[in-house]
Copies of this chain bind each other. A is one copy, B any other.
Amino acid sequence: MQNTTLKKIAETMGCSISTVSRALKHHPDISVKTREKVLELAAILDYEPNAFAVHLRTKHSKLIGLLVPAISNHFYESFISSVEEESRKNGYSLMILQSANDPDIESDNLRLFRQNRVTGLFACITADTTDLRHYNKMKELDIPVVFFDKVPEEKGLNKVCLADERAAFIAAEAITQAKKTKILALFGDPKLSITQKRRDAFERYIHKNNKGASIDLVFAKNSAEAETDTYKALEKTKKPDVVFCMSDELLLGAMKAIRQKQINIPRELGIITISNGFIPSLYYPEITYVETSGYKLGKLAFTQLMACLSGQPPLQELFVESSLVEGGSL
């Protein structure tokens, strides 16, 4: 069956299309009597405005693009969920694409977003994104981009991030207060600025406030690498007394190694991570973590995008604060 259109309503009512259109949006030009009739008829015929026609005409797509590395990820999930919620509340639809951490797919997706004339875009860049041309093209087309989580280094972009330094700082503080000195620190891809920031903050704090502590610094690209690296570290004669993981992914790997070696937490070894809290709650004792909420980040990103859309874009880098959540692992 065909969809009801303004034309169909107009014809069955015996009036013009524009009258119908205006009546439906309570335009003062239309008399109450006709408006009522139109509204009634529209309800009967189940009229649903054709979003494509509306967007084509108004040039306002009410569509927001969202680019994440992967949907199946415990952090992005909560971000997505939160953004979807806000979008729907504000009458926007969401177009979600995954880059799979591949710059080629990323640029394909950005093209798709452009073709769909998204009103705005949330983007999390891949580890290998070096070419920002596609993003710049968005700017040329007046499509505001709010980068989140993994953001480019460039200045003058809208970014919302977890307070990476702060989170690492808090973790380092907790380790220091727990009087741990032999630290195994697991970080992710060293190319990413998030890694650099967390690492810097972590080392700075430890060197300044935890004199005599040693840091065994390891970069692991994924969970499996984290596992082997942790395993190796635990076989050394000078075993660590605490493990710091900068992400859930690394925590998973580290915990597997720890379980294999049957090491008791927290008696023999402390562990702390940066997380949104889901994974840490799976273990017993629960893992102490510095909270970084994808949910909050999503809310913040949305506000930021709305600000861009409705006025002068406040080009700036915003942060979601972190806090320590005590499990029993430290």
Contact = CB atoms under 8 A, between A and B. Distances in A.
A154 interface: no
A282 B71 contact: no
Contacts of A46: 137
Nearest to A227: B284
A260 interface: yes
Kindly state the interface size class of chain A when it binds its partner. Answer: 35 or more
Interface string A144-180: 0000000000000000000000000000000000000
A51 B140 contact: no
Nearest to A251: B282
Contact of A53 (B49, B56, B97, B282): B56
A8 interface: no
A326 interface: no
Interface string A52-70: 1101100001000000001
Interface stretch (A79-87, A124-132, A237-245): A79-87
B80 A71 contact: yes
A1 interface: yes
11 contacts: A3-B117, A46-B137, A50-B56, A51-B115, A52-B55, A71-B71, A72-B80, A93-B95, A93-B116, A255-B284, A282-B282
A218 B201 CA distance: 48
Contacts of A283: 259
Contacts of A55: 52
A151 to B, nearest CB: 22
Contacts of A80: 71-72, 96
Sorted nearest first, the 7 A-B pairs with minimum C-beta distance are A259-B284, A52-B56, A72-B81, A71-B81, A72-B77, A52-B52, A51-B116
Nearest to A281: B252
Q: How many copies of this chain sit in the oligomeric assembly?
A: 2
A93 B51 CA distance: 15
Interface in A4-53: 46, 48-53
B56 A282 contact: no
A95 B98 contact: no
Nearest to A260: B284
Nearest to A111: B48
A112 interface: yes
Contacts of A77: 71-73, 77
Contacts of A98: 81, 84-85, 88
A126 to B, nearest CB: 15
A233 interface: no
B284 A48 contact: no
Contact of A78 (B72, B137, B140, B259): B72
B84 A97 contact: yes
Contacts of A114: 48
Nearest to A285: B259
